[in-house]
Chain A
Amino acid sequence: MTSDAPRPPPRRRFFGAFGRRELKGLFWQALVVGIAVAVIVFLWSNTVTNLSARRITTGFAFLGREAGMPIADSLLAYNPRDSYLWAFVVGIANTLRVAVIGIVLATILGTVIGISRLSANWLLSRLAAVYVETLRDIPLLLQLLFWYVLMQALPAARAAWRPIEGVFLSNRGLILPAIPIGTPQLWVLGTAMLGLVVCYVIRRRLIAQQMRDGKPRPAWPFVVGLLVVLPAAVSVLLGVAWTIEWPGLRGFNFVGGLTLAPEYFALLIALVTYTSAFIAEIVRSGIQSVPRGQWDAANALGLRRSFMLRQIILPQALRVIVPPMTSQYLNLSKNSSLAVAIGYQDVVSIANTTLNQTGQAIEAIALIMAVFLTISLGISFFMNWYNSRIALVER
Chain B
Amino acid sequence: MTAIADIPEAPRAARRPQIGNPVLRWLRTNLFSSIPNGILSVVLLAVLAKAIFSFVQWGIANAVWLTPANDSSACRAVRGVGACWAIIPEKYRFILFGTYPFDEQWRPALAVLLFIGLFYLSSRRALWRRELAYLWIGALALISVLMWGGIFGLSFVSQDRWGGLPVTLILATFGLAFGFPLGILVALGRRSKLPAIRSLSVLYVELIRGVPLVSLLFMASVMFPLFMPNGFNIDKLLRAQVAIILFAGAYLAEVIRGGLQAVPRGQYEAADALGLSYWRKNRLIVLPQAIRHVIPPLVNTFIAFFKDTSLVLIIGIFDLLTTAKTAIIDPAWQQFSVEVYIFVAAIYFVFCFAMSRYSRSLEATSGR
Contact = CB atoms under 8 A, between A and B. Distances in A.
B226 A47 contact: yes
Interface string A149-173: 1100100000000000000000000
Interface string B339-368: 001001100110011001000000000000
**Which 7 residue pairs are nearest across A and B when measured between Cβ atoms?**
A122-B30, A137-B352, A139-B307, A29-B196, A337-B212, A334-B212, A139-B310
Interface residues of A, number: 67
Given A121-B2, A338-B311, 16 more contacts: A30-B196, A32-B196, A43-B227, A46-B229, A120-B9, A121-B30, A121-B37, A137-B356, A138-B307, A142-B321, A142-B344, A299-B7, A338-B214, A341-B314, A361-B223, A368-B211
A104 interface: no
Contact of B212 (A29, A116, A288, A348): A348
23 contacts: A1-B275, A28-B194, A29-B194, A29-B195, A33-B196, A112-B1, A120-B2, A120-B7, A120-B37, A121-B3, A121-B30, A121-B40, A123-B41, A124-B41, A127-B48, A136-B356, A141-B313, A153-B335, A153-B338, A288-B6, A348-B215, A348-B218, A355-B218
Contacts of B325: 145
Interface in A1-45: 1-2, 25, 28-30, 32-33, 36, 43
B210 A139 contact: no
A118 B4 contact: yes
Contact of A292 (B6, B200, B303): B6
A90 interface: no
A134 B337 CA distance: 19
A50 interface: yes
Nearest to A111: B1
B197 A137 contact: no
A393 to B, nearest CB: 23
Given A33-B200, A341-B313, A365-B219, A376 B6 contact: no
B2 A369 contact: no
A352 interface: yes
A137 B344 contact: no
A146 B211 contact: no
B35 interface: no
Contacts of A116: 1-2
A295 B6 contact: yes
Interface in B160-185: none
A207 to B, nearest CB: 26
Contacts of A143: 345
Interface of A: 1-2, 25, 28-30, 32-33, 36, 43, 46-47, 49-51, 53, 112, 115-116, 118-125, 127, 133-134, 136-143, 145-146, 149-150, 153, 287-288, 292, 295-296, 299, 334-335, 337-338, 340-341, 348, 351-352, 355, 361-362, 365, 368-369, 372-373, 376
B228 A46 contact: yes
A46 B231 CA distance: 11
